[in-house]
Amino acid sequence: MSLYEKLLNREEKLSLIGLGYVGMPIAVAFSRKLDVVGFDTNKEKIALYKAGIDPTQEVGNEAIQNTSVYFTCDEKKLRAAKFHIVAVPTPINQDKTPNLTPLVVASSILGRNLTKNSIVVYESTVYPGVTEGICVPILEKESGLKCGVDFKVGYSPERINPGDKQHRLENIRKIVAGIDQQALEEIKKIYDLVIEVGTYPVSTIKTAEAIKVVENSQRDINIAFMNELAMVFDKMGIDTNEVVDGMNTKWNALGFRPGLVGGHCIGVDPYYFTYESEKLGYHSQIILSGRKVNDSMGQFVANAAIKEMIKAGKAPKESKVVILGLTFKENCPDIRNSKVEDIVNRLKEFDIVPVISDTWANKEEVKKVYNIDLVNFEDIKDADCLIIAVAHEQYKKLLIADFDKLFINEDNNQKIIIDVKGILNRSDVNNLGYHYWRL
C-alpha cells in the first residue's frame, strides 16, 4: 500500500513544520482530508491556535476552531507522521545574503524525529540546490537514514499570497518535484487532494526551486520599471497612475504599478537567485538593478514628503507627520520586511519621529520587531503631513473629510497628503486645495 493510500485511510499522518502565513493554511486544508500534526517552535503561536485564534488572519478564527489539526510545539510528535511539509521562512541577512538558519533548524528538528519510509517536502523559498545540497545532508546526519533509500524528499514552492482572498491555496496551481519518479508521483497525488486546480510536476527539485525565485524576481523587475518611471515622471510633473491607466487600455499591458516592494517573497527572492548565480561566476545585470530601485522607494517617498512640507511653508523638523500603514502590503497583518520602515528611517534623518497607525498590524509584534509604538487611528490629531503608505481597505473606504479630521485646524493649502498607492481621487483632493503627491 502506498503512503498516499495510508494517509487517506488514516493509517499514517501528515505533519506541517512551520505554522505561519504559509504553513497554517496548508495544515488546515490537509486536515479536511487527512490526520495532520501542526508543529511550530513558537509556543505563543501554538497557544493561540489551540485557543482558536488565527493571528495571521489567513483562514480566520472559525476555521482554526473547527480544524482537526493537532497543534504542538513538541518535536517528538513529528515521529507519528510519515509525510512532512516544511514551510519555514527564509529571510536575508543584513548584507542581502540568504539566511538559511530557520531552514537548517527545521531540518535538524525533523531529522531527529524522521522515521523510515517517510517523504519530506520543502516549501520554503531557496536558491536552486539548497534542498539536496543543504537540507538532505542535515536530515541524513540527524536521522542516521539514507535519502533515496530510507526516505524521499521533494520540493513544492509556496505560492500563497497573504491577504489575498481571491487567489487561495486551493485555486493556485502548485509546482511539485521529487528526488525520483516514485517520490514525485506520491507527492503529486497527495497535494492533488487539496489543490483543486491541480499540480504541475517538473523534472527536478532544482527546477522547482528555480521556478519560485524566478517568478518573484520577474515581478520585482516589472515593479522596479514602474518605480523608475514614477521617479522620472515626478520630475516631469506627469501623473504616473494616469499614464498606467492609459497604458492598460492596450491588450498586452501587464498592469504593474509603482509602490513599496517588501515582504517575505518579492523583496527577498531576487537576492537568493543572484547569490547562487554569483557563486557560479555570473553577476546579474538586471535583477539587482531592479532590487536597488525598489529598495530606494521608501527614501524617495520620504524625500517627497519633505519637499511638499517645504512647499507648503512648513519647517519639516517642527511638523507632525502621520503614517497610515506599516504592514508590507494591504489587508494583511504581515510586517516582515516592510519598506515603510525605510520611510520612517529617512524621516528620522531630518529629526522627524512620525506617528504611525495600522489597522491590521499587531502592536506587540511591531514594538518587538521595529521598536515602534503604534497609535489607534481614532487618536490621531493635529497632523501637518499625512502619508498613506499602505492601501488597507479600511483606508480606501474613507472620505477626504475623514482624513481631514486627522489634520491640524488650518487652511487646506497647508495640509500635505502623500498618497503612496493613489487611493484618493487626485482631482478631488487638488480642488480642495491640499498639497497632494502620489507615486
CA proximity to 188, closest of 203, 205, 201, 197: 201
In this structure, what are the phi and psi dihedrals at residue 174, rounded to the nearest 5 degrees?
Answer: -115, 130
**Residue 98: closest CA among 128, 127, 55:** 127
φ and ψ at residue 282, rounded to 5 degrees? -110, 125
Report yes or no: 259 and 421 within 8 Å, Cβ to Cβ.
yes
Report the b/e string of 302-324 with b at 16+ CB within 10 A: bbbbbebbeebebebeebbbbbb
β partners of residue 154: 121, 178
- pLDDT at position 50 is 96
Element housing 437 (H / E)? strand 435-438
7, 34 Cβ separation under 8 angstroms:
yes
DSSP state, residue 147: B
pTM of the model: 0.91
Q: What is the predicted pLDDT for the residue at 280?
A: 84
Radius of gyration from C-alpha coordinates of the chain: 24
Buried b (16+ CB within 10 A) or exposed e, 250-262: eeeeeebbbbbbb
Mean pLDDT of successive 10-residue stretches along the chain, which has 439 residues: 94 97 94 97 96 91 96 98 96 90 97 98 95 98 97 93 73 95 97 95 97 92 95 94 94 92 84 87 88 95 96 93 96 92 96 95 94 96 96 95 93 94 92 93
Rounded Cα distance between 13 and 83, Å, is 7
- pLDDT of 79 reads 98
- Domains in the chain with CATH codes: 3-203 (3.40.50.720), 204-295 (1.10.1040.10), 296-439 (3.40.50.720)
Q: Would you say 148 and 118 are in contact if contact means Cβ atoms under 8 Å apart? A: no
Please state, in angstroms and rounded to a whole number, the distance separating the CA atoms of residues 293 and 220.
10
Active-site residue identified among 135, 265, 332, 385: 265
pLDDT of residue 40: 97
Q: Is 373 helix (H, G, I), strand (E, B) or coil?
A: coil
Where would I find the beta strands (DSSP E) of 102-146?
118-122
- Known catalytic residue at 332: no
Q: Which three cell numbers stand for residue 341?
A: 520602515
